[in-house]
Amino acid sequence: MDIRHLQYVIASARNGSFSAAANELNVRQPIVSKRIKELEEELGGVALFDRSTAGARLTPAGDEFLVLARRIIEDIDRLAERAKARGAGKLGHVVVGFYKSLSTGRFRAALRDFRRQYPKIEIELVETPLVELSAGVLSGVIDTAVILGDTGKCEAFESIALWSDQLVVVLPECHPLAARQVIYWPELKGERFLVTHHDPGPDIRMVLIRHLAAPSDHPEIVTRRLSHESLLSEVADGQGIALQCESAVGLSSLGVAFRPLHDGNGATRLGYIACWKPDNINPALKTFIDALKRHG
């Protein structure tokens, strides 16, 4: 018994004759008769149709067989549709890694848009430090990681540039610079910076060094093993100032002020990238990456 046998039974029952079923299936009538006869013999001689000059009518056994045959064909059709959708990247599962600074902003907007457009692709989010994100992508446990940086940051992976985020200074409300609408880098000379040990703390440290370090002068940078929220509380208590991405401003505590940070060319911005393993063959990943490109 194969799929064709079931299709011949369904078509014959629908048309009321073997010849009409043959026309529908674009085969010769003797083929339909022969295949149904073979099926009946395989079933132990059970007659599925009453044959007559008027056509072919289902027997009670045939009625029961037809119900199951239709169910099997429908299941096979659904299976084929799902396989095609999965192969086309419209169905599946993508594991996306990120770190906490991305919990709001453009990343979340991109996720909402993707889930609305591709409801049959499940996005599983993994929030973990950068070193674990890299290991996860390398091992295949994570399909793609969205992180701060440029496309040369992860040499072992494929990557694309996404959106950028404005950098802001976090100040105690009583700080003299809090009265300014915009802060310029030279005004931060001599300040004490608090940086979280967690990501993106190391990226922020590199930005500080790039903009403020000189041969005879380095910024004072203090690393704390604190959450983002606890670090802002330290700023509010006057222990130093901090930098963060504008998209994370919504995570603020009371007692601090956020001011845009500029250089001679305007606002200081940090770029985000998505990176993935070159040999990742998950079709849904390509769909997700393409959607991120459009959103960027």
Which helix (H) or strand (E) covers residue 270, if one does? Answer: strand 269-276
253: confidence class by pLDDT, cuts 50, 70, 90 = low
The Cα–Cα gap between 195 and 231 comes to: 8
Owner of token pair 């993994």: 126
* Residues whose CB is less than 8 angstroms from the CB of residue 86 and which lie 6 or more positions away in sequence, other chains included: 92, 283, 284
pLDDT at 100: 61
What is the CATH class of 92-162+271-295? alpha beta
The domain segmentation of the chain, as residue ranges, is 3-87, 92-162+271-295, 165-268
pLDDT at 78: 78
Report whether 250 contacts 104 (CB < 8 A): yes
Instruction: Give CA 217 to chain center in angstroms.
Output: 43
Complete DSSP assignment for 36-89: HHHHHHHTTS---EEEETTEEEE-HHHHHHHHHHHHHHHHHHHHHHHHHHHHTT
- The model's pTM: 0.67
Q: Is the pLDDT of residue 81 over 90?
A: no
The Cα–Cα gap between 138 and 142 comes to: 8
* Residues whose CB is less than 8 angstroms from the CB of residue 199 and which lie 6 or more positions away in sequence, other chains included: 99, 100, 101, 129, 130, 147, 148
The Cα–Cα gap between 61 and 135 comes to: 59
Q: Is the pLDDT of residue 220 over 90?
A: yes
Q: State mean pLDDT over 8-28.
A: 91
What's the CATH number for 3-87? 1.10.10.10
Of 152, 130, 150, nearest in space to 142 by CA = 130
Summarize pLDDT for 144-173 with one digit per residue, the tens: 999 988 887 888 899 999 888 899 999 999
Read off the amino acid at residue 167. L
99-103, 130-134, 181-185: lowest mean pLDDT where? 99-103
Read off the amino acid at residue 7. Q
Of 190, 203, 180, 191, nearest in space to 259 by CA = 180
Residue 188 tokens, joined:
């931060």
C-alpha pair distances (Å), 128 with each of 135, 199, 263, 273, 292: 11, 9, 32, 16, 20
Report whether 256 contacts 235 (CB < 8 A): yes
CATH topology of domain 165-268: D-Maltodextrin-Binding Protein; domain 2 (3.40.190)
Do domains 3-87 and 92-162+271-295 share one topology? The answer is no
The Cα–Cα gap between 96 and 141 comes to: 10
pLDDT at 129: 84
Q: Is the pLDDT of residue 113 over 70?
A: yes
